[in-house]
Amino acid sequence: MDYKHIRTTPADALVIFGVTGDLAHKMIFPALYAMAKRGLLNVPVVGVASSPWTLAQLHKRVRDSIRQAGKIDDRAALDCLLSQLQYVSGDYNDPSTFGALKQKLGAARRPAHYLAIPPALFATVIKNLGTSGLAKQARVIVEKPFGRDLASARELNRIALSVFAEDSIFRIDHYLGKEAIMNILYFRFANSFLEPIWNRDNVASVQITLAEDFGVKERGAFYESAGCLRDVIQNHLFQIVALLAMEPPAFQGFGAVHNEKAKVFQAMRPLVPGDVVRGQYTGYRKEPGVAKKSDVETFCALRLFIDSWRWAGVPWYLRSGKFMASTAAEVMVELKPPPQKLFNDSHPANGRSNYLRFRLSPNSAIALAARVKCDGKAFVGEQRELYLLDEHHGAELPYERLLCDAMAGDGALFSREDAVEAAWAVVDPVLDTHAPVHPYKPGSWGPRQADALIAADGSWNNPIMVKTKK
């Protein structure tokens, strides 16, 4: 399956709404720089934001962003990026901002508008792009979270579709552009040994952990409107679940992948409060932009069921948190033990039976754990991992890949409307109905109530941090 099947005309300009913000600084400028290094940045880039900045200020911000992400190691690429960059400052509610943007776009006729702005502003900008005539032949790239619940996602889809066609709307989830996550799809369906065991007969449970050893940093205000469930679970972790749980695509091409992923979300059982444990690190309420009595979760663990033929009865445990003991993301697919206990040693100390482990970040690896006999007369063994390490030196950054794809009109690695809404339908019942957050210590693995959630099926796999070579 070649995902680079591009049949559309490429965009002839990139517009970044929210160009002075955190996302642009952290992700978008490094991605544009990487594109320039590969010779792929050959259209004007117009930044839009409300701050009354000069172009020189924006240039400074770009340099600073690239230095923070690595280093400036290609002057010509940096010059190329800076020379393409223009700036429009104005209020997103004011039609004259869009008039000024139109002027800056000059001869460009097929811009890609990237909304790197707070979700509450998406609808305003999309509507104004429509009324100002800037949506014709254009594309719109929307950052997650797409909506903040099922109703708002539907409403946002309605507004977006009143201005843009579905194939011109690119809902970004940068996890879909990560090598290790694309490899889940490949590994599952490019090999034949997995399929016979990849079901409820052989899989005991699946766990996914996305842990970060830092807090909300300067994003307190955003986080207050989102929380962990909306920020990473309903999107990043659910996308991983979909790739792990989906049926084989019926034909080559990403339309089939989208169909199968949407079915997984549709088969997920809507959550009830007892499936969810929310936590908050101590000190969060003192972060800038955070309410003194905030009940927003910085940690969330949940138990999920996919009521499909393949997965009925298999629990899926998802967990993510800020200020945890390490920064790492990992999937653990635990297999059922053999039907008979022939050796007295067959229950390892940590109680885990054979498993398949996908390490997703910061490095990427796949490990298959199996028991092997130790030396000696006695039939005593230990569980060891067959380990497949992948290094991705020089791989495209997720945002680089996804921006290039959106500009080329290739929606393979983006989320489809029906899938986004089906994913919201799963979390919707617990967005407002839940127990208060449990406090946890920064640097821990979250509140102990999360251990109780998984206890019936074992214990959490705590992925350790490893240093990656740059």
Which residue has the CB atom at the shortest distance from ligand BG6?
A: 231
Query: How long, in residues, is the chain?
Result: 470
Q: Print the SS3 string covering the chain.
A: CCCCCCCCCCCCEEEEECCCCHHHHHHHHHHHHHHHHCCCCCCCEEEEECCCCCHHHHHHHHHHHHHHHCCCCCHHHHHHHHHHEEEEECCCCCHHHHHHHHHHHCCCCCEEEEECCCHHHHHHHHHHHHHCCCCCCCEEEEECCCCCCHHHHHHHHHHHHHHCCHHHEEEECHHHHCHHHHHHHHHHHHCCCCHHHCCCCCEEEEEEEEECCCCCHHHHHHHHHHCHHHHHHHHHHHHHHHHHHCCCCCCCCHHHHHHHHHHHHHHECCCCHHHEEEEEECCHHHCCCCCCCCCCCCEEEEEEEECCCCCCCCEEEEEEECCECCCEEEEEEEECCCCCCCCCCCCCCCCCCCEEEEEEECCEEEEEEEEEECCCCCCCEEEEEEEEEECCCCCCCHHHHHHHHHHHCCCCCCECHHHHHHHHHHHHHHHCCCCCCEEECCCECCCCHHHHHHHHHCCCCCCCCCCCCC
Nearer to ligand BG6, 20 or 361 (CB): 361
Least distance (Å) between residue 456 CB and ligand BG6: 29
Catalytic annotation, residues? 236
| 411: nearest Cα among 111, 240, 165 | 165
Minimum CB distance to ligand BG6, residue 407 (Å): 21
- Of the pair 101, 229, the CB lying nearest ligand BG6 is at 229
Pick from 74, 179, 212, 418 the residue near ligand BG6 by CB under 6 A.
212
The CA distance from 97 to 91, in Å, is: 6
User: In this structure, how many other beta carbons lie within 10 angstroms of the beta carbon of residue 240?
Assistant: 24
Smallest gap from Cβ 465 to ligand BG6, in A, equals: 13
Cα-only R_g, the chain: 23
Q: Which is nearer to ligand BG6, 97 or 235 (CB)?
A: 235
Comparison of 232 and 242: residue with beta carbon closer to ligand BG6: 232
Q: Which is nearer to ligand BG6, 208 or 232 (CB)?
A: 232
Q: What is the distance between the alpha carbons of residues 279 and 440, in angstroms, rounded to a whole number?
A: 6
Q: Whose Cβ is closer to ligand BG6: residue 17's or residue 98's? A: 17
| Span 428-467, contacts to ligand BG6 by CB under 6 A | none
297 is a contact residue toward ligand BG6 (CB under 6 A) = no
Closest to ligand BG6 by CB, 80 or 211:
211
Nearest-approach distance from CB 362 to ligand BG6, in angstroms: 8
Residues numbered 358-417 forming contacts with ligand BG6, rule: CB under 6 A? 361
Site for ligand BG6, residues 66 to 85, rule: CB under 6 A: none
Footprint of ligand BG6 on residues 223-262 (CB under 6 A)? 231-232
Pairing relationship of beta strands 276-281 and 299-305 according to DSSP bridges: antiparallel
d(CA 26, CA 24): 6
User: How many residues in the shown chain lie near ligand BG6 by CB under 6 A?
Assistant: 4
Contact 112, 44 (CB under 8 A): no
Least distance CB 236 / ligand BG6 (angstroms)? 6
**In the bound complex, what is the minimum distance in angstroms from residue 212's beta carbon to ligand BG6?**
6
Nearer CB in complex with ligand BG6: 68/96: 68
Least CB distance to ligand BG6 at residue 168 (A) = 23
Q: State the nearest-atom distance from the C-beta of 219 to ligand BG6, in Å.
A: 7
Site track 305-344 with ligand BG6 (rule: CB under 6 A), x = hit: ----------------------------------------
Min. distance of Cβ 232 from ligand BG6 in angstroms? 5
- Interface with ligand BG6, residue 179, by CB under 6 A: no
Closer to ligand BG6 by Cβ: residue 143 or 334: 143
For ligand BG6, the binding residues (CB under 6 A) are 212, 231-232, 361
